[in-house]
Amino acid sequence: MNRKQHWETVYETKDDLEVGWFQENPELSLKLVNKYSLIKAKPIIDVGGGNSFLTKLLYNQGYSNLTILDISAKALERSKNRFSESIEGISWVENNVLDFSSEAPYQTWHDRAVFHFLTMEEEINKYANIAAKNIIQGGFLILATFSLSGPENCSGLPISQYSEKKFCSIFNDKFSLIECFENVHITPSGYPQNFIWAVFKRK
């Protein structure tokens, strides 16, 4: 099964509370976006925004230029359904992040639990180049993946685990590390998952 088919099947067959990554309140993502995206009109992208509530909550806080990118049309449908009326200033883009390019770069690029699905060096480096190309100088890359003590797969797919050192070895060329820390996510069914978060500033 290819990557897109995998994710379409996930969202066709599972409700929000049946997927391990789901959070009704993505508290940490919100906190970091609030900390680094100080001007609410500047563009933000949520990569693999899928069924996340992040963009809806940011919209409610007054952020007015939001893009949700996801490989799955079904995931984007869920995201759209979070908004009751038709909304200006929000774009939903169905694409593989590895094929993504935008006309204008973003102030903030947020990715929770998407980058870690890339397991081949070539794809990992491609992602880093795409992120660098699509973030303005001085803009921020907020990344969350499973840590070295986290699970070895996610949604039944193998993932790459990260440490601060490993993040830096990939992103240091075009970004400076601002902060990095670990955090435990409790899945809707009650299991702990160790994540590592990094915030990089585009050089």
Ligand X SMILES: C[S@@+](CC[C@H](N)C(=O)[O-])C[C@H]1O[C@@H](n2cnc3c(N)ncnc32)[C@H](O)[C@@H]1O
Residues near ligand X (CB under 6 A): 3, 7, 21, 48-50, 52, 69-72, 75, 96-98, 112-114, 117, 154-155
Taking the complex as a whole, how short is the minimal distance between the CB of residue 147 and ligand X, in angstroms?
A: 15
Tokens in use for 109?
């690029």
Of the pair 138, 190, the CB lying nearest ligand X is at: 190
Burial of 40 (0-12, 13-18, 19+ CB in 10 A): middle
Taking the complex as a whole, how short is the minimal distance between the CB of residue 44 and ligand X, in angstroms?
A: 13
Compute the CA torsion angle 51, 104, 123, 173 (nearest 10 deg). Answer: -120
Taking the complex as a whole, how short is the minimal distance between the CB of residue 39 and ligand X, in angstroms?
A: 23
Give the helix/strand (H/E) hosting 47. strand 44-47
Of the pair 43, 48, the CB lying nearest ligand X is at: 48
Taking the complex as a whole, how short is the minimal distance between the CB of residue 75 and ligand X, in angstroms?
A: 4
Find the residue with minimal CB distance to ligand X.
50
Taking the complex as a whole, how short is the minimal distance between the CB of residue 78 and ligand X, in angstroms?
A: 9
Angle at 188 between CA 69 and CA 60, to 5 degrees: 50
Of the pair 124, 168, the CB lying nearest ligand X is at: 124
Rg for the chain, CA atoms, rounded: 16
**CA nearest to 195, candidates 151, 158, 165, 142:** 151
Q: Which three-class secondary structure string do you get for 158-184? A: ECCCECHHHHHHHHCCCEEEEEEEEEE
Taking the complex as a whole, how short is the minimal distance between the CB of residue 6 and ligand X, in angstroms?
A: 8
Tokens in use for 1?
């099964």
Of the pair 2, 88, the CB lying nearest ligand X is at: 2
Of the pair 65, 70, the CB lying nearest ligand X is at: 70
Of the pair 91, 137, the CB lying nearest ligand X is at: 91
